[in-house]
């Protein structure tokens, strides 16, 4: 893989800049946007970026940092999912606490924002408190966003409980967007200043990258990633007016900046030190770019991946047509096609050949779907896999891939029928599943069982790690289980917005 980003240079530059910002205040409330861990989007568009760079950065500053996690009560009530891991926001909060502790970071508390006694949220609060985790609840801020006098009063931020913190940097993060991080930071600023402490606010948002051009594929990839939020990149007019320099920000930050500046000035009683939303940021990711052409190509590939993802989510009913159309417009804006993703055509061609073979054998019908997948390795080699009665296309593709890396002939069966058939029998006769084809997880378990007595299977198992970073495409929508297996293996997977069967329920199993 070509590298376009210097991770170590970035960490050094970023930690230095944050510490410089802290020097202005007794305490800095640092709003962390995006993903604190496993930032796969950043990893894909910035080849060389470590997906855990942010938490590594905080680990370097651990003596000065404590963390507050915000969760919006409404997201808990509606079981909002973190798409890349397939878990709800309450579960993601628990995972985040575990991961922060693993990096020796002090988790101060969890703040439930816009809380109004919601039942599922109350259960979650009980769960946290009974595990010894401090929980604060914030109600909706009276007067927000326009009535600054009410917001900055005992009726506004003053109604929220004060979060006791002890370290100079308080990182405020969340499982996803819209969780109330900004409101929590400003509420704390209000309480700190009432106590006579000089506290400040800054924002750490990786994207858009303020010091690369507005229409750079890297920034357009951010729009593609947040198309459901209706985010649009814009030139920061406040920054241009104050400094005569071009900087890129996004619509929500630019739109809310005048009110935000007034709130901060009302809290502190002084003129704001920030002349633009870009001023508020501490992000230095643009200074880690060492090969712009590599970044451009990686970003274009991410735009295509996001387009396929939105297409599948639209087909499932999770996204509206406006979001899908916006994703398509982004593709057209940068003159990209689905086929510009190298694994798309091989997967579709394999599916077409399967249909032709079935037609020639006289056993095809017009409505039947022929799932196929393709995977591209780091050396450019592309392999395909097809679905069958024994296993689905994803499982077949993984077996084909490890055979390739282990230099095992395609005719050799890695999984013995002695293992395969009892599993299928268990699924159909005992568990009553209509679909008996093994999925990716079941095939990997079967392979691991065979590896205990079969050296060839053991060699193949050892090659699974080589799939990390490979690209794959499916001609049909994957089940959640298969999607997660591909993700855990580190394979970037996309899919056409077609279901593998006409079944409405059983295809999801």
Characterize the bridge pairing of strands 169-173 and 27-32: parallel
Q: Is 28 helix (H, G, I), strand (E, B) or coil?
A: strand
Regarding whether 347 and 204 lie in a shared domain, the answer is no
Q: Phi then psi for 300, rounded to 5 degrees?
A: -65, -40
Regarding whether 348 and 261 lie in a shared domain, the answer is no
Characterize the bridge pairing of strands 233-235 and 372-376: unpaired
Q: Are 217 and 301 in contact (CB under 8 A)?
A: no
- Give the tens place of pLDDT for each residue, 204-241: 989 999 999 999 999 999 999 999 988 899 999 999 99
**CA 205/CA 233 separation, integer angstroms:** 13
Q: Given a cut of 90, is residue 276 above it in pLDDT?
A: yes
Measure CA 66 to chain center.
23
Regarding whether 184 and 112 lie in a shared domain, the answer is yes
Regarding whether 267 and 361 lie in a shared domain, the answer is no
Assess if residue 257 is contained within a domain: yes
Q: Are 4 and 48 in contact (CB under 8 A)?
A: yes
- Give the tens place of pLDDT for each residue, 311-361: 999 999 989 999 999 999 999 999 999 999 999 999 999 999 998 888 777
Assess if residue 241 is contained within a domain: no
143: which 2 tokens?
């007067």
Regarding whether 257 and 114 lie in a shared domain, the answer is yes
- Give the tens place of pLDDT for each residue, 145-175: 889 999 999 999 999 999 999 999 999 999 9
- 256-181-72-196 Cα dihedral, nearest 10 degrees: -110
**CA 447/CA 457 separation, integer angstroms:** 7
Residues 504-508, mean pLDDT to the nearest whole number: 60
Regarding whether 363 and 267 lie in a shared domain, the answer is no
Assess if residue 319 is contained within a domain: no
Mean pLDDT, the chain, integer: 92
Nearest to 320 by CA among 227, 188, 443: 227
Q: Given a cut of 80, is residue 284 above it in pLDDT?
A: yes
390: which 2 tokens?
């024994």
**Per-residue H/E/C for 60-113:** HCHHHEEEEEEEEHHHHHCCCEECCCCEEHHHHHHHHHHHHHHCCCEEEEEEEE
Rg (CA), the chain: 25
Domain of 267 in residue numbering reads as 7-210+250-289
Regarding whether 419 and 283 lie in a shared domain, the answer is no
Residues 374-380, mean pLDDT to the nearest whole number: 96
Domain count for the chain: 2
User: Is the link from the previous residue into 208 a cis peptide, with omega within 30 of 0?
Assistant: yes
**CA 4/CA 215 separation, integer angstroms:** 18
Regarding whether 402 and 262 lie in a shared domain, the answer is no
Structure confidence at residue 445 (pLDDT)? 94
Q: What is the CATH number of the domain that holds 443?
A: 3.40.140.40
Assess if residue 305 is contained within a domain: no
Q: Are 147 and 189 in contact (CB under 8 A)?
A: no
Contacts of 346 by beta carbon, 8 Å cutoff, 6+ apart: 374, 382, 384, 473
CB burial of 331-349 (b: ≥16 within 10 Å; e: otherwise) equals beebebebeebebbebbbe
Structure confidence at residue 232 (pLDDT)? 94
**CA 221/CA 301 separation, integer angstroms:** 9
Q: Assign 4 a pLDDT band (cuts: 50, 70, 90).
A: very high
Looking from the CA of 423 toward its CB, the CA atoms found within 13 Å total 21
Q: What is the CATH number of the domain that holds 118?
A: 3.10.630.10
Regarding whether 381 and 254 lie in a shared domain, the answer is no
- Give the tens place of pLDDT for each residue, 405-434: 999 998 888 998 888 888 888 888 888 887
Q: Phi then psi for 140, rounded to 5 degrees?
A: -60, 135
Assess if residue 99 is contained within a domain: yes
- Give the tens place of pLDDT for each residue, 232-247: 999 999 999 999 999 9
Q: Are 422 and 434 in contact (CB under 8 A)?
A: no
Assess if residue 306 is contained within a domain: no
Q: Given a cut of 90, is residue 76 above it in pLDDT?
A: yes
Contacts of 484 by beta carbon, 8 Å cutoff, 6+ apart: 85, 86
Q: Are 221 and 306 in contact (CB under 8 A)?
A: yes
Assess if residue 1 is contained within a domain: no
**CA 331/CA 243 separation, integer angstroms:** 33
Regarding whether 355 and 275 lie in a shared domain, the answer is no
Element (H, E) at 118: none
Assess if residue 231 is contained within a domain: no
- Give the tens place of pLDDT for each residue, 102-157: 999 999 999 999 999 999 999 999 999 999 999 999 999 999 888 999 999 999 99
485: which 2 tokens?
């297996």
- Give the tens place of pLDDT for each residue, 421-467: 888 888 888 888 878 889 999 999 999 999 999 999 999 999 999 99
Q: Given a cut of 70, is residue 254 above it in pLDDT?
A: yes
- Give the tens place of pLDDT for each residue, 77-93: 999 887 667 789 999 99
Characterize the bridge pairing of strands 471-474 and 372-376: antiparallel
Regarding whether 279 and 191 lie in a shared domain, the answer is yes
**CA 69/CA 172 separation, integer angstroms:** 6
Regarding whether 282 and 381 lie in a shared domain, the answer is no
Q: Are 499 and 477 in contact (CB under 8 A)?
A: yes
């Amino acid at each position: 893989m070509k590298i376009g980003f210097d991770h170590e240079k970035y960490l050094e530059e970023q930690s230095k800049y944050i510490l410089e910002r802290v020097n202005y205040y007794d305490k800095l409330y640092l709003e962390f946007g995006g993903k604190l861990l496993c930032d796969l989007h950043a990893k894909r568009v910035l080849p060389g970026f470590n997906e855990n760079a942010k938490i590594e950065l905080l680990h370097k500053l651990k003596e000065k940092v404590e963390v507050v996690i915000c969760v919006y009560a409404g997201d808990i009530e509606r079981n909002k999912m973190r798409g890349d891991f397939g878990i709800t926001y309450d579960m993601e909060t628990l995972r985040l606490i575990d991961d922060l502790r693993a990096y020796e970071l002090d988790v101060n508390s969890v703040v439930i924002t816009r809380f109004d006694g919601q039942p599922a949220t109350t259960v979650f609060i009980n769960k946290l408190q009974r595990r010894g985790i401090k929980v604060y609840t914030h109600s909706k801020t009276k007067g927000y966003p326009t009535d600054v006098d009410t917001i900055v009063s005992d009726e506004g931020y003053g109604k929220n409980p004060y979060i006791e913190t002890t370290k100079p940097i308080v990182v405020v993060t969340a499982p996803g967007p819209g969780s109330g991080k900004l409101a929590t930071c400003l509420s704390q600023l209000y309480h700190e200043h009432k106590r006579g402490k000089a506290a400040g606010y800054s924002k750490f948002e990786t994207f858009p990258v303020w010091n690369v051009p507005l229409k750079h594929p890297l920034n357009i990839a951010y729009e593609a990633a947040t198309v459901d939020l209706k985010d649009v990149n814009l030139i920061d007019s406040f920054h241009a007016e104050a400094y005569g320099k071009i900087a890129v920000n996004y619509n929500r930050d630019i739109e809310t900046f005048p009110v935000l500046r007034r709130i901060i000035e009302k809290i502190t009683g002084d003129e704001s030190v920030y002349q633009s939303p870009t001023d508020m940021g501490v992000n230095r990711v643009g200074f880690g770019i060492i090969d712009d052409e590599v970044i451009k190509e990686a970003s274009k590939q991410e735009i295509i991946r996001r387009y396929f993802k939105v297409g599948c989510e639209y087909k499932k009913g999770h996204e509206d047509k406006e979001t899908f159309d916006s994703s398509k417009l982004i593709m057209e804006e940068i003159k990209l096609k689905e086929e510009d993703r190298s694994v798309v055509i091989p997967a579709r061609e394999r599916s077409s050949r399967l249909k032709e073979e079935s037609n020639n054998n006289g056993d095809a019908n017009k409505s039947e779907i022929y799932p196929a997948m393709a995977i591209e390795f780091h050396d450019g080699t592309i392999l395909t896999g097809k679905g069958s009665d024994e296993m689905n296309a994803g499982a077949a593709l993984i077996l084909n891939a490890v055979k390739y890396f282990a230099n095992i002939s395609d005719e050799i069966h890695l999984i013995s029928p002695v293992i395969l058939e009892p599993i299928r029998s268990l699924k159909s006769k005992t568990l009553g599943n209509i679909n008996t084809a093994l999925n990716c997880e079941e095939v990997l378990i079967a392979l691991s069982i065979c590896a205990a007595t079969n050296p060839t299977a053991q060699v193949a198992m050892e090659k699974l790690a080589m799939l990390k970073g490979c690209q794959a495409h499916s001609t049909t929508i994957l089940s959640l289980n298969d999607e997660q297996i591909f993700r855990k293996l580190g394979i970037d997977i996309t899919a056409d917005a077609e279901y593998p069967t006409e079944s409405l329920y059983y295809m999801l199993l």
